[in-house]
Amino acid sequence: MKADSVEALFNLDPLQLQDQDIFKGVEALRRMRSEFLAAGGETGAKTPGKPAAKAPKKTLSKEELGTLNLDSLGIKIV
């Protein structure tokens, strides 16, 4: 049994699908994404006048990555 398209991926009994059948469907979905992007589609968020939230630049040093004082939070690890 060969699934050589997205349609086949969804129409065939999943229990009968081989990994290579599924992979062909995955590749078809990836092509669909590429075509969507090529047609001007965006797979990131729309920007309503604000830049996207970025990762904080500051990173913690090894010293700062110490154990949090859980007692101050009144929390016990169990």
Partner 1 sequence: MSTEGNSSFSQKSQNLQLAWDSTSLGLLKECPRKYYYSIVLGYQGSGDNVHLAFGQLYHGALERYDHSRATGADHDAATVSAVRYCLTETRVALANGGWRPRDWGDSNKNRFTLVRTVVWYLEQFRDDPARTLILHTGKPAVELSFRFETDFKSLAGETFWLCGHLDRVVEFNNAVYGLDRKTTKHTLYSDFIEEYSPDNQMSLYDIALQVVYGIRGQGIIVDKAQIAVGFSRFERGFLPKTDEQRVEFYADTAFWIGQAELFARKNYWPMNDKACGNFGGCVFRGICARSPQVREMWLKGLYTKRMWDPLQVRGDI
Q: Which parts of this chain interact with partner 1 (CB under 8 A)?
A: 6, 9-10, 13-15, 17, 19, 22-23, 25-26, 29-30, 32-33, 36, 41-48, 50-56, 59-60, 64-68, 70, 72-78
Name 32's Cβ contacts closer than 8 Å, sequence gap at least 6.
6
**In the complex, what is the shortest distance from the CB of residue 8 to partner 1, in angstroms, rounded to a whole number?**
12
**In the complex, what is the shortest distance from the CB of residue 71 to partner 1, in angstroms, rounded to a whole number?**
9
Q: Within the chain, what is the greatest distance between any pair of CA atoms?
A: 61
Of 1 and 65, the one with the shorter C-beta distance to partner 1 is 65
- Residue 5, both tokens: 């398209």
Name 33's Cβ contacts closer than 8 Å, sequence gap at least 6.
43
**In the complex, what is the shortest distance from the CB of residue 55 to partner 1, in angstroms, rounded to a whole number?**
5
